[in-house]
Each structure stands twice: as C-alpha cells, then as structure tokens.
C-alpha cells in the first residue's frame, strides 16, 4: 500500500490506482498459494496444487487484460499490485542470502 501512496505523491496517479486495484488480487493469490502448498503430499494433491496455480495465473491474466484498457500506467500498477507479495518474498530471500554470505 505504501508503494501506491508513494506513486500517487510522485505524480504517477495511474500507476498508484493500478497498484491499489491489483493489491487485493495479489493478497488473494498469496492465500491461494499457501492453500495450494497445503495440498502437496496428499491424495490428488498434485492435481489440486496445479489447479490452484492455474487459477492464480488466470486471475492475474484477466486483471492485466482489463488493465490494458486503462493505459500503460494502469497496466504497470496492476502488475505491481498483483505481484507485490512475490516481490517482497524475493527481497526477503535476497536479504537472507546476503546476510548469510556476510556472516559466513
């Protein structure tokens, strides 16, 4: 949410609107991912996992397709909003790796 507010104050209103519209979908996709991982190892778990991953991708693609109609700024904002959870996890993992290299 802070990214959207920052984009708004810097004058990127379309990107800020896209982030705020895409963020709930990104959080819902994160919930689906956590739920999908819980199915692994169970009977038919791989199929359920694959189905939920496909559902996540479909939701993201629909959101991006709809955002195209609003312009490039909105498209970029929705893409950031949808993937913000993944980006934050990637940055956390990079910070852990850098921290391990420094102490090791």
Read off the pLDDT of each residue in 8-30 and give the average, rounded to a whole number: 87
CA proximity to 70, closest of 11, 14, 3: 14
CA atoms of 32 and 52, how far apart (whole Å)? 7
> pLDDT, tens digit, for every residue of 36-64?
777 777 777 778 888 888 888 898 899 99
pTM assigned to the model: 0.72
What is the DSSP annotation of 3-32? HHHHHHHTT-HHHHHHHHHHHHHHHHHHHH
Which tokens sit at 63?
């959101």
Contact by Cβ (8 Å): 22, 82: yes
Map out the domains of the chain as residue ranges. Answer: 2-103
CA atoms of 55 and 62, how far apart (whole Å)? 11
Per-residue confidence (pLDDT) for residue 1, from 0 to 100 = 64
């Amino acid at each position: 949410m802070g990214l959207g507010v920052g984009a708004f104050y810097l004058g990127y209103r379309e990107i800020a609107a896209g982030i705020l519209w895409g963020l709930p979908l990104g959080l819902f996709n994160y919930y689906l991912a956590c739920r999908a991982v819980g199915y692994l190892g169970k009977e038919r778990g791989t199929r359920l996992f694959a189905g939920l991953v496909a559902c996540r991708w479909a939701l993201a693609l629909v959101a991006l397709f709809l955002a195209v109609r609003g312009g490039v700024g909105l498209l970029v904002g929705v893409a950031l909003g949808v993937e913000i959870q993944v980006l934050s996890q990637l940055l956390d993992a990079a910070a852990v790796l850098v921290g391990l290299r420094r102490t090791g």
